[in-house]
Structure 1
Amino acid sequence: MHRFPDRLLTGYQNFMDGRFNEQQQRYRTLADSGQKPRTMVIACCDSRAAPETIFDSGPGELFVVRNVANLMPPYEPDGHYHSTSAALEFAVQSLRVSDIVVMGHGRCGGIKAALDLDAEPLSPGDFIGRWMHLLKPAAEQIQSNDVMTPGERQRALERISIRNSIANLRTFPCVEILEQRGKLNLHGAWFDISTGELWIMDAKTGDFRRPGT
């Protein structure tokens, strides 16, 4: 019989002795009244870029959905399984969040895979390949640019993918309507793992800048 990972048990005990002990009333209130986060974050499942850690958020403050390369697919009510779209639907229609942040990050493995047009599937299902197909047109254009270095191409697609996901968000009727009414704001952000820098997308130009610059 396999043992539950010791590192997780130790972490859980530290959580109970620390944060939970300090915020017991907060957790009880959340348990009784439910969650009411004002912000949804669409982030990558990369273990190095956890939104709750980066934004130093407490329990109940962020509604986070994480997937490979923090992608938002377009609106496709086709009867198939759409986990990210389901999370968006719940955040917008039930939780009534006022802000949605698409947060990418540097050195993203999913983006690297999208740029490797000759990569072999990791499995017969090729789930990552199919998922990253959402970025295929942009990846092909960037990969054909011989002037850029591999690192520059990677960072470019990481940021282009954020803009692409925000455009896909607007294909959802509920998002489009609420944004036009001024009740929902869409944001883009990019986190540099190596330096800790956070870059925010300008809503008008699409450019990324560090806050305060």
Structure 2
Amino acid sequence: MHTFPEHLLQGHANFMAGRYMREKDRIRDLASEGQNPSTMIIACCDSRAAPEMIFDSGPGELFVLRNVANLVPTYQPDGGQHGTSAGIEFAVKALAIENIVVMGHGRCGGIKAALAPNQAPLDAGDFIGKWMAMLGELPGQLGKNGLMTQAERQTALERISIRNSLRNLRTFPYIAELEKAGKLLLHGAWFDISTGELWIMDAKSGDFQRPNI
């Protein structure tokens, strides 16, 4: 007989007895009035890098979109099924989001796969390989630097891919228009799983720095 995972049932019970009881008025307001977050986070699927945990956010505060390696494709209104682009469209057009944060993280499995193009795919469909191909020549360019260690290449590509996703976001006409008008801000961030540190991308230089707070 199929059974629902016990640890999820217990987690929900804990939620109902704890956080739900503390925040039930807010949760009920969100249910009746709808969501109105000001920030969208585009993050990785990795279970170790959950935005709600990292930013200690409550219900309704963040609109979170997660995919493998937190990648953003270019604007492609070609009739295809584009889950990430659909999420972006809803956040910007329907929710009037004011901030979009592309957040990468250390030890990203998708980035690791992109740096090992000759590795056998997990499945014949190779959806991961095709998805990571969005990075184009960037992994190969890093691979040519023989003075870098594999760990250095991975951290570098994790951060470069954030810049690449921000560049791709600006190919969405409505995003470029809103950013130019000062109504939408784009941000890059990188989370170190091992230390818990958050590194913020400087909008002008592109360098990643730890915030002074």
TM-score, scaled to structure 1: 0.99
Alignment partners' CA distance in 1, 2:94 and 2:119: 40
Q: Which residue of 2 aligns with 1:34?
A: 34
Alignment partners' CA distance in 2, 1:120 and 1:144: 21
Q: Decide whether the 8 Å contact of 1:114 with 1:136 is kept in 2.
A: no
Count of matched residue pairs: 213
User: Does 2:166 match 1:166?
Assistant: yes
How far did residue 136 of structure 1 move?
2.9
Summarize deviations over 1:148-192 as a string: whole Å, max 9, x none.
000000000000000000000000001000000000000000000
Q: Which residue of 2 aligns with 1:196?
A: 196
Matches within 5 A, 1:87-166: 87-166=87-166
Alignment partners' CA distance in 1, 2:42 and 2:28: 26
Q: Among the aligned pairs, what percent are the same residue?
A: 66
User: Which range moves more in the overlay, 133-142 or 178-187?
Assistant: 133-142
How far did residue 135 of structure 1 move?
1.1
Summarize deviations over 1:101-123 as a string: whole Å, max 9, x none.
00000000000000002111111
Alignment partners' CA distance in 2, 1:30 and 1:197: 31
Alignment partners' CA distance in 2, 1:114 and 1:44: 14
* Structure 1 unaligned residues grouped into runs of 5+: none
Alignment partners' CA distance in 2, 1:69 and 1:161: 9
Q: Which residue of 1 aligns with 2:70?
A: 70
SS at match of 2:176: helix
SS at match of 1:78: coil
Runs ≥4 residues deviating over 2 A: none
Q: Which residue of 2 aligns with 1:84?
A: 84
SS at match of 1:23: helix
One-letter amino acid of the counterpart of residue 57, structure 1: S
SS at match of 1:104: strand
Alignment partners' CA distance in 1, 2:117 and 2:33: 48
TM-score, scaled to structure 2: 0.99
User: Does 2:5 match 1:14?
Assistant: no
Alignment partners' CA distance in 1, 2:161 and 2:82: 19
* Structure 2 unaligned residues grouped into runs of 5+: none
Q: Which residue of 1 aligns with 2:54?
A: 54
Compute the RMSD of aligned alpha carbons: 0.8
Alignment partners' CA distance in 2, 1:210 and 1:196: 11
Alignment partners' CA distance in 2, 1:120 and 1:172: 34
